[in-house]
């Protein structure tokens, strides 16, 4: 297999931080850490994980991501940041990093569906239910989203943010955020559908038992108004992850607005480490 492509942001030769983008998402999402990364001497890398062959799944997928990260790091100390469903992938991958992960930051993290009654409060309820009950239909829906992203990427953006809550509403009205997010959605759904579908398919399966293996220092960042990953998920992670060290609930913020507010604070913490 060819080495996995990745994007790099922040400092050219700083402390290495691996960012796990959301689903939908793409490596370009990591650009939010670029300026603060340079300021704090942090090198952010984000794997193009949706490009991994769809035949590689489950634990083999996490092991492959861990191996690629270890190859890129070449023995350097690593920290992880995971956003949304990317937080789930970060948690799973951290179990296979031979030298361990210095710290793990979970932003707007999506908890195991079997760990609580979350679905009714989740904006992605229909997608998750379909992925769980009818995986083939879910993949067909994802390909339809890919076609829509090619024909009218703005329409995909509007669908994604139709139920925006809290400060996410202000982000939706911001032209720069709209432009950046539309590019991310195109990168996700055009040519990467199978990779996106794999992450969602893995997420909707039971996985809460794996959290007992996560001993890394874990910091939780969550918006009080999050309607993608309800705030109760942050409380669940706080109790379920043995290495949980801090939980920050940000008032008035939802899913993406939490990422925007947490990014500089995470960089500040990592820069002091």
pTM of the complete model: 0.97
Picking from 20, 141, 160, 17, the residue whose alpha carbon sits closest to that of residue 79 is 17
Predicted pLDDT at 202: 99
Q: How far is CA 254 from CA 22, 30, 162, 226, in A?
A: 15, 18, 13, 4
Parse the chain into domains and list their residue ranges.
Answer: 6-272
Q: Give me 247's structure tokens.
A: 């939980």
The length of the chain is 273
Sign of CA dihedral 25, 28, 34, 35: negative
CATH class of 6-272: alpha beta
Predicted pLDDT at 99: 83
What is the spatial distance between Cα 109 and Cα 89, in angstroms, rounded to a whole number?
10
Predicted pLDDT at 3: 87
Q: Enumerate residue ranges in the chain where pLDDT < 50.
A: none
Predicted pLDDT at 2: 83
Number of H helices, E strands in the chain: 11, 7
């Amino acid at each position: 297999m060819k080495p996995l492509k990745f994007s790099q942001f922040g400092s050219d030769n700083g402390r290495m931080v691996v960012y796990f983008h959301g689903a939908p998402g793409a490596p370009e999402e990591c650009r939010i850490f670029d300026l603060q990364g340079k300021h704090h001497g942090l090198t952010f890398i984000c794997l193009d994980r949706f490009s991994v062959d769809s035949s590689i799944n489950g634990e083999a997928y996490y092991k492959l991501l861990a191996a690629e990260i270890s190859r890129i790091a070449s023995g350097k100390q690593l920290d992880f940041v995971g956003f949304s469903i990317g937080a789930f992938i970060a948690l799973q991958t951290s179990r296979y990093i031979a030298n361990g992960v210095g710290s793990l930051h979970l932003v707007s993290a999506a908890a195991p569906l079997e760990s609580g009654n979350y679905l009714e409060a989740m904006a992605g309820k229909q997608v998750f239910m379909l992925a769980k009950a009818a995986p083939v239909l879910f993949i067909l829906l994802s390909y339809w989203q890919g076609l829509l992203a090619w024909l009218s990427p703005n329409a995909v953006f509007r669908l994604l943010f139709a139920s925006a809550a809290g400060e996410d509403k202000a982000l939706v009205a911001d032209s720069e955020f709209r432009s950046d997010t539309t590019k991310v959605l195109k990168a996700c759904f055009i040519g990467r559908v199978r990779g996106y579908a794999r992450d969602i398919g893995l997420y909707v399966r039971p996985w809460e038992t794996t959290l007992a293996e996560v001993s890394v220092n874990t910091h939780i960042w969550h918006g009080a108004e999050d309607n993608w990953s309800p705030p109760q998920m942050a409380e669940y992670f706080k109790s379920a992850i043995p290495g949980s060290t801090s939980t920050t609930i940000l008032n008035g913020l939802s899913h993406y607005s939490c990422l925007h507010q947490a990014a500089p604070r995470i960089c500040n913490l990592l820069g002091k480490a």
